[in-house]
A and B are shown apart, each in its own frame.
Chain A
Amino acid sequence: MHVETVIAGFGGQGILFLGRVLATAGMIGGYHVSWYPSYGPEMRGGTANCTVILSDQEIGSTISDHPDIVVVTNQPALLRFGPLVKEEGLLVINSSLVRGTGHCPTVEVLNVPGNEIAGAMVGDPRTLNMVILGALVAHRPLVWEEDMRLALEEILSGKKRELIEINFQALDAGKKFIRERRDAGVSERPNE
């Protein structure tokens, strides 16, 4: 396995954290992993992105020219990163904030209304990132569910321990969204 994922959105949406949970879960699962953030004069409301690579072999470049998976949580991220997805790749869209699917005719699109699910089902819109991750991994099992839980426990240690539970709930809410969608017979929508 060698999967390159780019996650992009607003600063403050938990983009770097989402990537870190994915990378940590991959590490716990025994993969070679790398996590490379955009870093710069960026802040809440600005742009944020990171690249996570999970691989069976030692990772060379930690930058992805053409990611297998792109996750976008706002409109500018779709415009910038949508066109980079590999042919036959997967584009995960936070459909609460993003309209359309860009112009990527050959990729699979997974729409997840992340803000709505985080607000209505988890009760905290800030858990958008874990809702999206839960949905992504339910749809494409990149890492084990249990390893994501272990990753959250490892990352949210010390004073942040109290946040673990709500993040678990958000992962579950994302997974539930995918299951219900599958049970309702929604087929993978080709890009429009």
Chain B
Amino acid sequence: MKRILMKGNEAIAEAAVRAGCDLYFGYPITPQTEISEYLSSRLPEEGKVFLQAESEIAAIYMVYGAAAVGKRVLTSSSGPGISLKQEGISYLVSAELPAVIVNMSRGGPGLGNIQPSQSDYFQAVKGGGHGDYKTIVLAPDGMLGQMMEPVVFTEPQFDPLPPKDWAVSGKEGRKRRFIICFALDPQELEKVNQALQEKFRAMERNEIRYEIFGDEHPDLLLVGYGTVARILKSVVREGARKGLRLALVRPITLYPFPSAVMKEKAVQAGRVIDVEMNHGQMLEDVRLAVEGRVPVHFYGRSGGMIPTVEDTLQKVMDILSREGVKHENGI
């Protein structure tokens, strides 16, 4: 199968087209503008719609409108722009409208900078907008958007979608439908919330994705996602050369979080190090997953700084020697 060298941003855009994206609305911001650039020519080729909105807020409500009529829709941005979209995301959840939102996260807070970062974990995983809600979160970051690797596109195989018997696509010949994101009666709004919670439980049952890599009987479990997971794979390999027994759990979904496997592997290893490009956000979910059964250590860089293999391996060796773990080379 043909391999194409592509930026992560371009790969996301092409994947969206192949998955049947009908419309894209967005406003440029580094490090994700290649998504807009790519779709500005690619979507019209397919007879689909690309529109550069006047702002991020406008873009998210265009997404709301397109989703409401039953179209498959995408928007993308980075930290500051994603903050602007939060109100609209909360409304989308309330109205139960499906959409894909890409955040190629960069250094924050504020305008921050444009270097890769994972500082938007809380924003993405814990809600971000107002209200009691969750969204399915996969985990790219600014570095994966900018770098190029060979990509192979396979023909996507989808189960047929359920009928969109809720879409406000024109009432001719059928009963009127409503899409609303409020319920003024408290009893009514509690029912809305209970129904949403059932949906989130279904996500937790069906959507968890992760990868396990490295030693089958590790002395230390490494946890990281996105760019950090790539670095940790190198740490696992380098460590193995030095006689260290290391394994990695890489969450692919951050919500729902792979808590069960995290706990199982952590208990097996006896200790954990969580590495992130922030000062400890996923760390809270790792600790919740592990339930205090084993110590959870942390190493983080921020502001666009990226942990090196060398530094991370040093942290790993420090933990192992502090906790008195012997290994083959006996350091």
Interface pair A60/B148, CB less than 8 Å apart: no
- Between A27, A35, A60, A61, the greatest number of chain B beta carbons within 10 A of the residue's beta carbon is seen for A61
Q: Say whether, besides A23-B5, A61-B309, A63-B308, A39 and B30 are in contact (CB < 8 Å).
A: yes
Give chain B residues whose Cβ lies under 8 Å from the Cβ of A61: 230-231, 233-234, 308-309
Give chain B residues whose Cβ lies under 8 Å from the Cβ of A63: 231, 306, 308
A40 to B31 CA separation, bound complex (whole angstroms):
9
Give chain A residues whose Cβ lies under 8 Å from the Cβ of B233: 58, 60-61
Q: Say whether, besides A27-B150, A36-B143, A65 and B30 are in contact (CB < 8 Å).
A: no
Give chain A residues whose Cβ lies under 8 Å from the Cβ of B236: 60
- Digitize B233-246: 1 where CB-to-A-CB distance is under 8 Å, 0 elsewhere: 11111000000000
Q: Say whether, besides A27-B5, A63-B308, A37 and B234 are in contact (CB < 8 Å).
A: no
Q: Say whether, besides A23-B5, A61-B233, A63-B306, A35 and B31 are in contact (CB < 8 Å).
A: no
A37 to B30 CA separation, bound complex (whole angstroms):
14
Q: In the complex, how many angstroms separate the beta carbon of B191 from the nearest chain A beta carbon?
A: 48
Give chain A residues whose Cβ lies under 8 Å from the Cβ of B115: 40
A41 to B232 CA separation, bound complex (whole angstroms):
29
- Between A32, A39, A60, the greatest number of chain B beta carbons within 10 A of the residue's beta carbon is seen for A60
- Digitize A62-80: 1 where CB-to-B-CB distance is under 8 Å, 0 elsewhere: 1101000000000000000
Interface pair B147/A35, CB less than 8 Å apart: yes
Interface pair A36/B308, CB less than 8 Å apart: no
Give chain A residues whose Cβ lies under 8 Å from the Cβ of B146: 36-37, 39
- Digitize B135-170: 1 where CB-to-A-CB distance is under 8 Å, 0 elsewhere: 000000001001111100000000000000000000
Interface pair A27/B3, CB less than 8 Å apart: yes
Interface pair B147/A36, CB less than 8 Å apart: yes
A20 to B147 CA separation, bound complex (whole angstroms):
11
Q: In the complex, how many angstroms separate the beta carbon of B11 from the nearest chain A beta carbon?
A: 13
Is the C-beta of B114 less than 8 angstroms from some C-beta in chain A? Answer: yes
Q: In the complex, how many angstroms separate the beta carbon of B180 from the nearest chain A beta carbon?
A: 42
**A20-51, CB < 8 A from B:** 20, 23-24, 27, 32-37, 39-41
Q: Which of A24, A41, A60 contacts B231 (CB 8 A)?
A: A60
- Digitize B25-69: 1 where CB-to-A-CB distance is under 8 Å, 0 elsewhere: 000001100000000000000000000000000000000000000
- Chain A residue at minimal CB-CB distance from B309: A61
Is the C-beta of B310 less than 8 angstroms from some C-beta in chain A? Answer: yes
Give chain A residues whose Cβ lies under 8 Å from the Cβ of B150: 27, 32-33
Q: Which of A20, A24, A65 contacts B310 (CB 8 A)?
A: A65
Q: In the complex, how many angstroms separate the beta carbon of B106 from the nearest chain A beta carbon?
A: 10
**B110-150, CB < 8 A from A:** 113-115, 143, 146-150
A63 to B234 CA separation, bound complex (whole angstroms):
10
- Between B149, B232, B234, the greatest number of chain A beta carbons within 10 A of the residue's beta carbon is seen for B149
Interface pair B231/A33, CB less than 8 Å apart: no
Q: In the complex, how many angstroms separate the beta carbon of A35 from the nearest chain B beta carbon?
A: 4
Give chain B residues whose Cβ lies under 8 Å from the Cβ of A24: 5
Q: In the complex, how many angstroms separate the beta carbon of B42 from the nearest chain A beta carbon?
A: 14
Interface pair B147/A37, CB less than 8 Å apart: yes
Q: Which of A20, A40, A65 contacts B148 (CB 8 A)?
A: A20
Give chain A residues whose Cβ lies under 8 Å from the Cβ of B114: 39-41
**B76-127, CB < 8 A from A:** 113-115
Identify 24 residue pairs between A and B in the complex whose beta-carbon atoms are under 8 Å apart, listed by A's number.
A23-B148, A27-B5, A27-B150, A33-B5, A33-B149, A36-B146, A37-B146, A37-B147, A39-B31, A39-B114, A39-B146, A40-B113, A40-B114, A58-B233, A59-B149, A60-B231, A60-B233, A61-B233, A61-B234, A61-B308, A62-B143, A62-B147, A63-B308, A65-B310
A residues contacting B by CB (< 8 A) are 20, 23-24, 27, 32-37, 39-41, 58-63, 65
Q: Can you add 4 more A-B contacts, CB < 8 Å, to A35-B5, A35-B149, A40-B115? A: A20-B5, A20-B148, A33-B149, A60-B236
The 10 A-B residue pairs with the shortest CB-CB distance, nearest first, are A60-B234, A60-B233, A35-B148, A61-B234, A36-B147, A61-B231, A27-B150, A65-B308, A65-B310, A24-B5
